[in-house]
């Protein structure tokens, strides 16, 4: 994701209104740009300074849908600001665009706030749908319509029986990867430009799937899949968050290890 203007806790949220946040999410592949969904540079294709999870990267124009399901974890908050985002998306692993939706946990002053959001980077800033709660169960979909060039981002809070949907174009999108990710958002003023990763314990993705070249399956069923571990910025040797192995090519967990 891209840089936001101020912390979310400083504004009143209105559905589908841009939520200036002072932070951003980013991608995870070799390019790693700064955006909620475009990666910050990392040592290898299987580690990132801001991503943990799985990415499928088959080639330009092959990915038409990504689906995922997870439970929003409860975070433990220190006195300072920490953030953790959980999302699914198309693009971002090895491209400069991202189309994504997900949830965010933000700690500020020892207090946790949770949000549902979407973004088409760089065409649209991060947008919040609404405030949510830890423990809520989510299903999300990002689809690309090749006929009109629209991306459809939909996320359902099963616990509250609420669905939010946004349709948006994103010029320059390549549809070349699919991701299910836990992320450390960017936008901090430190050397890495990344906020400390909120202590979320474990987030469970009960499913992560994609449609690639017309074939639909769990993300692990495709030939070009990367398991991504989040590492610290200063040395790239300390693990901040790590994914488990995939179950049935689709389900996995990401476990928090360190804040930075």
pLDDT tens string 210-253:
999 999 999 999 989 999 999 998 888 899 999 999 999 999 99
The mean pLDDT value of the chain amounts to 85
Per-residue pLDDT at 44: 60
**C-alpha span between 134 and 104 (Å, rounded):** 10
**The model's pTM:** 0.88
Domain-embedded: residue 127: yes
Rg (CA), the chain: 16
Q: Residue 13: pLDDT band by 50, 70, 90 thresholds?
A: very low
Domain-embedded: residue 130: yes
Per-residue pLDDT at 12: 22
Per-residue pLDDT at 40: 52
pLDDT at 2 over 90: no
For residue 85, the enclosing domain spans 8-256
Domain-embedded: residue 3: no
Question: What CATH number has the domain bearing residue 17?
Answer: 2.60.120.700
For the chain, the residue count is: 260
**Structure-token pair, residue 72:** 């929003």
**C-alpha span between 103 and 73 (Å, rounded):** 10
**C-alpha span between 16 and 158 (Å, rounded):** 19
Domain-embedded: residue 137: yes
Domain-embedded: residue 2: no
Least confident of 16-20, 30-34, 163-167: 16-20
pLDDT at 32 over 50: no
Per-residue pLDDT at 58: 83
How many separate domains does the chain show?
1
pLDDT tens string 113-152:
999 999 998 888 789 999 999 999 999 999 999 999 999 9
Strands 150-157 and 137-145: antiparallel
Of 96, 80, 92, which Cα lies nearest the Cα of 28? 92
Domain-embedded: residue 85: yes
Average pLDDT over residues 21-48: 50
Bridge partners of 209, per DSSP, are 67, 218
Asked if 70 and 134 touch (Cβ cutoff 8 Å), the reply is no
Domain-embedded: residue 1: no
Domain-embedded: residue 177: yes
Q: Residue 155: pLDDT band by 50, 70, 90 thresholds?
A: very high
CA angle 14, 26, 91 (to 5 degrees): 95
């Amino acid at each position: 994701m891209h840089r936001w203007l101020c912390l979310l806790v400083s504004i009143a949220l209105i559905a589908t209104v841009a939520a200036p946040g002072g932070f951003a999410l980013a991608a995870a592949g070799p390019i790693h740009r700064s955006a909620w969904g475009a990666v910050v540079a990392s040592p290898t294709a299987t580690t990132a300074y801001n991503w943990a999870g799985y990415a499928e990267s088959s080639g330009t124009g092959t990915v038409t849908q990504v689906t995922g399901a997870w439970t929003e974890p409860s975070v433990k908050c220190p006195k300072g600001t920490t953030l953790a985002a959980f999302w699914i998306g198309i693009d971002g692993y090895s491209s400069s665009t991202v189309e994504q939706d997900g949830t965010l946990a933000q700690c500020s002053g020892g207090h946790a706030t949770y949000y549902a959001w979407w973004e088409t980077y760089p065409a649209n800033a991060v947008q919040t749908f609404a405030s949510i709660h830890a423990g809520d169960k989510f299903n999300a979909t990002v689809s690309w319509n090749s006929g009109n060039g629209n991306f459809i981002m939909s996320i359902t809070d099963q616990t509250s029986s609420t669905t939010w949907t946004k349709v948006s174009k994103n010029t320059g999108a390549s549809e070349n990867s699919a991701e299910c990710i836990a992320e450390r958002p960017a936008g901090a003023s430190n050397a890495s430009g990344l906020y400390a990763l909120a202590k979320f314990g474990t987030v469970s993705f009960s499913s992560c799937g994609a449609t690639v070249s017309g074939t639909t399956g769990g993300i692990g069923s495709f030939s070009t899949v990367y398991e991504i571990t989040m590492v610290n910025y200063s040395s790239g040797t300390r693990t901040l968050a790590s994914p488990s192995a995939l179950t049935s090519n689709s389900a996995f967990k990401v476990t928090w290890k360190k804040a930075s």
